[in-house]
Structure 1
């Protein structure tokens, strides 16, 4: 191997710096350009380059530049073995391919994109192992490079594991991606140093080192508050509090709510504070009381002050720990590179940087965030417009009734187009038409539902759960949900969602639903399932075992006992035409079910024989509104519902999917209507079986045949 040259190392340092700056700068800049609603903590880097993402060119270009720069580093790094050059080159090419095969949208996945992205991560973690050489510069020696490669590979492996454990994927991925991009830069920088390059004398270098380490400690402290936000709580509210890494948020306190943002500006020098307020379930009891006032919902001065003190303390602790971790990491890496124990200067420099970062940040925040230093107060979204339109949220049901004519026209147009252009096999006589809804979240839009039932000739409504937000009957009463369900003129089939109970044993919402004449509970209690037969179509399902307030982790695992119990109870029953539960993991791979439906994700989806319903109310009144870029336009999550048609052969013949928005605001906007051939979903054929449209009886449930199936212990695994 030829000895490394100065020209090589300078070029490698330039390309490695370019790769790191392009990647990190790209995702920061691209995120800044996104409309409200993008969450960098939870959404992936790839989402910024997705085909339907605004300003996607920024992240796409950043990925291309990063990949090309990695190839340059592979060619120029001094002392790197050929195998290491090949692996790093392949990593660069894979990074470019990540940009060339983007995700369809922020909400949709792509198997090809996932494979390419995973490959690029693995290659970026593996190249130090293959490039290690005893004769190379310090970070390329086997004693350093191979342990580093193992650590990087473990970090890459932690990404899919983190998804299952509930870690915020966006922040997790950015930490891993940043470290993968930083290692070639660190390798080139150490090589540059080892080859005798210097900046100034020792005193200047130490001052610069401490200054840079101080900045790094401050960044680490801010990052720690974002990875583990502090929580401030009052009786009826809680808020996650974290520091902002966006320089534009400096000296600003921003409370981001789904109704808009409150932005308070201060005079001083300090990182910005972000707070995400949330309503506690206890407020549902207050809302159900007559003559409720705003003042009765407000926390008192002492309560608010105590919450602020606790939040400030917790944020400070997280900041200090994050800064300390960065300082300790610097000492450790310095010792590894120099191959000796840290000296007094290393400890003194790290301690100084940590103390200055914590002290300067704490002092700046204490001086800045004082009431007398406030100079600006603005609000956006609903919070900014409610003063001009006090009646906007006064009556959700009345608002939806106003837009029913719009929906009637939309359905009529859709039906006419389907009659003209749908495939012949979809035109067979219909035995049953099912309206599939989910995730109403206390949004009383039953005026719309009645219109849909009438215009689409619906025989049956299937609701996959999350009727309310906080799992209480009081919330359902306050929002008129139960009266709205009773007004629907067809049977209403229901399974409980994870927001429809306050504990694993809470049955209050189920009991209240059971008292409504047109409601059928598919799992009325832990000991019984109900099979609904309508026109010969067999429907059954089971409740979500989760509840509002559980830890929100390992959702997939929590569904398995309920799924096994259901499968065990139905193993000797006739196959089902329609299986219903709330979460996607509950209905996946359930045997003897032709079609499965679920909700929970607030996004319509189709996967094999599984139909995922969107949210009928755009997430409900409490989650419906976000502010647009100019803070004036109200934009809701898309509302969605599906109409399932079963033919006389008892098979699903078609699924019609509707999406629209801005219903509550009174300005409905059409998104799309799509028609899906049911044979793509229901692939099971049963020769000789026929179904026919149910004849209405005197009572709303008279057209149904209801059969109880007792639960039994699940089969052994």
Structure 2
């Protein structure tokens, strides 16, 4: 029998030639193939739609609900989770900047934003020093509890967001359930991966941003600096006590005896938040019967609002305190100093205190994230013009002063050049290294001496990073009744391994032209 005879035939096929019957049968088979392919494509489309909705719902849920507020020690903190390509943690410390930690793996980023201090808890820490240790231990539990609550809240928010989104998109219970389940699995898996790959040691290798970019200069090796500072503080307590013996020793020096009517000025600079500097200043003010304290800037490190309380010790001195802003001091710092009852802040202005007319100008820069550099070194042309321009502004102010100016104050010695010939003495700081020199004399102008102070705060905590800490330094200046500099005492307080106080007296034999004559240092152990 012919194979064609077994084919099913429709009405009228008997009279239809075989070739025509073949043409009519082929479209039926094509339609069946297309129907199979369209079903497969539809199923893939549904799967992709479910995956898309699940991921979108998880992301929306994490962004909307992945945040909690918690207490970490005395701080009020906000913890936030967000989707990310690479797992990491940001510790945000406004207004100083942030620390970036490579803390874990997975597509999640944790942000810890430290907020305001709780006044009640902070006062409790201050009143009870032992509570600081308890707070440091409880802080770990605070963080753990906050992260656990954050994880649960994030997962719940992701499920809820996906449930709502899938219900609106599919209007189908089965597909909505699949989307919600996938969203929960993705969220829980991401959080589990982060927890399983947690690297606590990442806190030891942070990357700094904002003003904290220079934090290694402050923090360094935290353990070593903490140990060094403990020894340093213990020795400084004894050293500061020894300063009381200096005045008796100085009075016995035969080379110079301050005459009645002598005005004593204490020049300090670059405190950099070191509280030990205040102890030393108070001792010297009392023992040397200081009339005026002059501060040539960098009393803080970052110029932030929390640091403003550091200047409160100014009022305890009970002596006029003349201050100019350094490049580490902000306008907030200057305002905090100005609020002290005995403080005078100069900013391209003059004042008369204890018979001395003093002119001063703040540093034109605010660069707390920069290292201190020697005067003029490493300055770009634009910055150098700023610094020198400050000196030019002050020189014009000095020349316009109705009273002759006895002392001009600048922070960076690079600003001193334009002041040559305008006044007999310029005081500066910034370099953390003591230096005395004559400015190039202008034809027909009076000679001008430049005195650069070291760091009265020992360069702050960054001064503990070297093998030997930066010494604390300050200078007592003696002015006669004509308000001319007659002599000065350089006081240097050593640190760890250098438990001594040195005083070096210099007598200005000829104020008009002679160089100061050094006298053998007087150490006190």
Task: Output the TM-score relative to the length of structure 1.
Answer: 0.38
When Rg is computed on C-alpha atoms for both structures, the one with the higher figure is: 2
- Name the SS for the 1:513 alignment partner: helix
> 1:390 & 1:646 partners in 2: Cα distance?
37
Which whole-Å CA distance do the structure 2 matches of 1:307 and 1:400 have between them?
A: 29
Residue matched to 2:11: none
Counterpart Cα distance in 1 of 2:287 and 2:269: 19
Provide closer, same or farther for how the CA distance between residues 638 and 305 of structure 1 changes in structure 2, counting only shifts above 3 A: closer
Q: C-alpha deviations, 1:419-449, integer Å up to 9, x for none?
A: x2x15xx654443100000111111232221
Q: Are 1:415 and 2:251 an aligned pair? A: yes
Equivalent residue for 2:503?
673
Residue aligning to 1:515? 339
2:288 and 2:435 map into 1 onto residues whose CA distance is 21
Summarize deviations over 1:483-520 as a string: whole Å, max 9, x none.
3111112111100111111xxxxx21111111110111
**Structure 2: distance between partners of 1:582 and 1:287:** 36
Q: 1:427 to 1:490 in 2, by over 3 A?
A: closer
1:392 CA displacement: 5.7
User: Equivalent of 1:661, from 494, 499, 503?
Assistant: 494
Matched, 1:497 2:326: yes
- Is the Cα–Cα contact under 8 Å of residues 322 and 344 in structure 2 kept in the other structure? yes
Say whether residues 1:618 and 2:458 are aligned partners.
Answer: yes
Quick check: 2:459–2:470 contact (8 Å CA) kept in 1?
yes
After superposition, give the CA deviation of every residue in 1:267-287 in whole Å (9 maximum; x if it has no partner): xxxxxxxxxxxxxxx999879
Per the TM alignment, residue 534 of structure 1 is displaced from its structure 2 partner at its CA by 1.8
Q: 1:636 aligns with which of 458, 469, 474?
A: 469
Report deviation, 1:474: 0.6
State the secondary structure of the residue aligned to 1:592: coil
Distance 1:392 1:283, change over 3 A: farther
- For 2:283, the equivalent position in structure 1 comes to 451
Counterpart residue number, 2:389? 561
Distance in 2 (alpha carbons) for counterparts of 1:384 and 1:439: 23
CA distance in 2, matches of 1:310, 1:623: 18
Secondary structure at 2:367 match in 1? coil
- Three-state SS of the structure 2 residue aligned to 1:593 is coil
Change (3 A) 1:404 1:310: closer
Aligned counterpart for 1:538 among listed residues 341, 357, 361 = 357
CA distance in 2, matches of 1:438, 1:682: 26
Cα distance, 1:382 vs structure 2: 7.6
Q: 1:386 to 1:517 in 2, by over 3 A?
A: closer
- Describe the shift of the 1:399–1:682 C-alpha distance in structure 2 as closer, same or farther (beyond 3 A): farther
Equivalent residue for 2:411?
582
2:326 match: secondary structure: coil
Cα gap change, 1:674/1:640 in structure 2, threshold over 3 Å: closer, same or farther? Answer: same
Equivalent residue, structure 2, for 1:435: 266
Deviation at 1:656, TM superposition (A): 0.8
CA change 1:306–1:439 in 2 (3 A) is: closer
Give, in whole Å, the separation in 2 of the partners of 1:569 and 1:460: 22
What are the Cα deviations for residues 216-257 of structure 1, in whole angstroms up to 9, with x where unaligned?
A: xxxxxxxxxxxxxxxx996468899xxxxxxxxxxxxxxxxx
| Residue equivalent to 1:605 | 435
CA distance in 2, matches of 1:680, 1:547: 38
8 A contact 2:388–2:418 mirrored in 1: no
Give the structure-2-normalised TM-score. Answer: 0.51
Q: Are 1:404 and 2:240 an aligned pair?
A: yes
User: What is the CA–CA distance in structure 2 between the aligned matches of 1:586 and 1:390, rounded to whole Å?
Assistant: 34
| CA-to-aligned-CA distance 1:50-86 (integer Å, 9 cap, x gap) | xxxxxxxxxxxxxxxxxxxxxxxxxxxxxxxxxxxxx
Structure 1 residues 642-681: Cα deviation after superposition (integer angstroms, max 9, x where no partner):
000001222100011111212xx6x862253222223466
Measured in 1, the distance between the counterparts of 2:222 and 2:203 equals 28
In structure 2, how many angstroms separate the alpha carbons of the residues matched to 1:680 and 1:283?
A: 58
Select 2:313's aligned residue among 477, 484, 500: 484
Deviation at 1:307, TM superposition (A): 11
Q: Provide structure 1 residue ranges, at least 5 long, that are not aligned to the other structure.
A: 1-231, 241-281, 312-379, 502-506, 629-634, 685-717
Partners of 2:261 and 2:274 lie apart in 1 by 31
Unaligned 5+ segments in structure 2 are 1-88, 101-112, 126-131, 148-197, 209-219, 372-378, 439-448, 515-525
CA contact (8 A) 1:430 1:645 kept: no
Q: Check 1:303–1:596 CA distance in 2 against 1; reply closer, same or farther (3 A cut).
A: farther
Query: What displacement does 1:563 show?
Result: 2.1
| Structure 1 residue 304 displacement after superposition | 8.1
Aligned partner of 2:295 in structure 1 is: 463
1:376-391 to 2 correspondences below 5 Å: 383-384=223-224
In structure 1, what is the equivalent of residue 166 of structure 2?
A: none
* Count of aligned positions: 313
Displacement, 1:530?
A: 3.2
